[in-house]
Every structure is written in structure tokens, then in C-alpha cells.
Amino acid sequence: MKKSILWLGVIATLSQTAHAEALSSRKTQGFIKDFYKAMTAREDKKLDAMIADDAKINIHLTKMNQSFSLSKSQYLQQIKAAWHFGHHEKYKLSNIKYTLTQAGLSANLTLRLNESRTILNEDLSQEQEMNIDLSLIDEQIKISNIKTVTNF
């Protein structure tokens, strides 16, 4: 009986270690780069799968001094609208910093994003400071929260 309890403890410890490894710096940074590759490729189904259903998205526009909170579906709708009216999208990520939280079950990324596209024959760009929370949901990494401050 004592051996069974001991083995259960060892297995529980090993499973927590496996989750911590799932949200390593390399994997989470790769995940966010894949997210923006999917944006560039206009893969809406892939983006949908990469964002948690209950994700919260907060956007602050500095020039207009306005803030918005969006649901996942509203955020994806905004992305699709940008695709409809724009083309030649480019996303350049820099200053990516990573923090592992909750014993490997979640992570936080901060980064700078330079986003550019052509809309109505005009080249537009904006810089964003982003704070993105990632969580392990059903053993898959998903975006659970996005906070962005943009110069738009």
C-alpha cells in the first residue's frame, strides 16, 4: 500500500515536470511566431485553434486614447476585416521576453510587434507593445489573454 502511494507521488511529480517542459521558452516563442505566420497566411481556422475560447483581448490605442475589450470571436472578426481590406501584411516580432508561471501550466510573453499592410493603395504601419498569456489547455498551448498598446 505504501509503495502504491509512493509511486502515485512519483508519477504526479513526473507529470508536472512534463507540463513544465511543454511551456519552455523555445516552444512558447515558436508558438507565437507560428501564430503570426498563420496571420500572414490568412489561416483563420489555425488562428481560431490557437486562441482559447474564453480568451480576453484588450487593446489600447494611444493616439485616440481609447481602449477596447474584445472576445475571441470579435478579435478574429477584426483580423478578417483587416484581411478583406488590406494586403501585403507583414508582422515583425522583437524584444520577446518569456516568463514561465504556475509550474509550467502557463507562460507570459512580452514583445514588440511592428505590423504593416497596404490598405486602399496606402502603406500603413503600427507598433504595438504586447503582453500575451499562454496556457496549456487540453495539452495544447493556447492564447488566453492579449493586452496590447498600439501607436494607432
The pLDDT value recorded for residue 29 is: 85
Condensed to tens digits (0 to 9), the pLDDT of residues 54-73 reads 999 999 999 999 999 999 99
- Residue 7 confidence (pLDDT) above 50: no
Amino acid symbol at 122: E
The Cα 61–Cα 147 span in angstroms is: 11
The mean pLDDT of 120-127, rounded to a whole number, is 91
The Cα 104–Cα 78 span in angstroms is: 31
Q: Percent of the chain at pLDDT above 90?
A: 68
- Return the SS3 of 19: helix
* DSSP state letter for 12: H
Q: Percent of the chain at pLDDT above 70?
A: 86
Condensed to tens digits (0 to 9), the pLDDT of residues 28-52 reads 889 999 999 999 999 999 999 999 9
Question: Of 50, 137, 129, 143, whose CA–CA distance to 97 is shortest?
Answer: 129
Condensed to tens digits (0 to 9), the pLDDT of residues 97-110 reads 989 887 778 999 99
The pLDDT value recorded for residue 21 is: 52
DSSP string, 42-54: T-HHHHHHHEEEE
Residue that wins the pLDDT comparison between 152 and 34: 34
Which domains does the chain show, CATH number per domain?
2-150 (3.10.450.50)
Tell me the average pLDDT of the chain.
85
pTM: 0.81
The pLDDT value recorded for residue 77 is: 97
Condensed to tens digits (0 to 9), the pLDDT of residues 77-89 reads 999 999 999 989 9
